[in-house]
Amino acid sequence: MPIGDRNLGTGTVLRARHKGKERTCDVVHADEGLRYRLDDGTEHQSPSSAGTAAMGGVACNGWRFWSVAGTETAKRAKAKKVPAAKKSAKVTAIKPNTVKAVRAAASIPESPRGRLHTAAASAARRSRR
């Protein structure tokens, strides 16, 4: 959760997670004012500078990158996908899938070339010529 109140006091601990690694940053008082000390000991002038160092040089908005320790909301666990119910086997009638079976069922006479011999089929063939 981003830092909402930018008035961070000395001793405030900031936390962030980057690429699976937890990073911490302590707000400390120095002669120059507030400094942000990373867990590796380096001090920075701003949360953005500290965040950039924590991310290995990638520029970032430190006010969004860091969270005040103890105010982070727990990440919600990803919901597991429920496997879909198995489909029940459908009972289907066996349908004829051969040309001869279709002709026999419809009582359509066969032509010598094996084509359907109907008026509509003949008209369609004539129009394609």
Q: How far apart are CA 93 and CA 45, in angstroms?
A: 78
- Choose among 48, 14, 12, 53: nearest CA to 29: 12
Give the 3-state secondary structure of residue 45.
coil
Q: Supply the mean pLDDT for the chain.
A: 77
Residue 40 to residue 34: CA distance in whole angstroms: 18
In this prediction the pTM is 0.52
When pLDDT is cut at 50, 70 and 90, the band that residue 127 belongs to is confident
Residue type, 83: P
Residue 99 has pLDDT above 80, yes or no: no
Q: Is there a contact between 75 and 15 (Cβ–Cβ < 8 Å)?
A: no
The residues, any chain, with a CB within 8 Å of residue 73's CB and separated by 6 or more, are: 1
For residue 65, give the nearest of 53, 75, 76 by alpha carbon. Answer: 53
User: What is the structure's pLDDT at 95?
Assistant: 56
| pLDDT, tens digit, 9 for 90 and up, residues 13-70 | 999 988 888 999 999 998 888 899 999 999 999 999 999 999 988 899 988 898 888 7
Assigned token pair, 68:
């005040």
